[in-house]
Amino acid sequence: MLSNKIIRKLLRELCVLYKKEHGQSVSKLSEWCFSYSILADEPALMRILQAHYVGDTLGDGLESVFQELVARGLLEEHPDGTYFITETGYSIGLESGFERFMRYLNLNPGANTFIAILALIVSVIALLVAA
C-alpha cells in the first residue's frame, strides 16, 4: 500500500511534467497520456518510488504503483495501456502544505473550536499581564 506522502509527491512530479507541456490548463488532462515505461527515465519519479519499491522488476513496480493510483481515482487508464491524470489527481498534485492544512480545518470543525479557545486563553493571559 502506498502512503499518502508518496502519492502526493508522485502526483506533484506528474503535474510538473504536465505543466511543462500545457501550463496551468486542465482542459488537456485527458489528452496528456504517458506510460510507466517512459516515466522510468525520469530521475525525480524514480527517487520518489525508491522510497516504496513494489514488485520484482522496475516495470512491475511502476505498473503496480500506477494501478493503485487508478484504483484511488487519481489516474485513469486508456485501453492502449497509457495513463492520464484525473482532475482530482491534478488538484492533489498542485496542493501545498498550507492548502492541505486549510482543507483539514474545513473538514474538521472541532479543530477550529479548539484553536479559537486557545486564542481566547492567550488573549485573556495577555490582558491580565498588561493590567
- pLDDT digits over 41-98, tens only? 777 676 666 665 554 444 556 677 788 889 999 999 888 888 888 888 988 888 888 9
**CB under 8 Å to 1, separation ≥6 — which residues?**
68
Query: What domains sit in the chain, N to C, each tagged with a CATH number?
Result: 4-95 (1.10.10)
SS3 11: helix
Mean confidence (pLDDT) of the chain: 81
φ, ψ for residue 77, nearest 5 deg: -110, 130
SS3 72: coil
CB count, 10 Å around CB of 63?
Answer: 17
101: left (phi over 0), alpha (psi -120 to 50) or beta: alpha
Placement of cell 490582558 in the chain: 127
Q: Closest Cα to residue 17, out of 65, 80, 89, 81?
A: 89
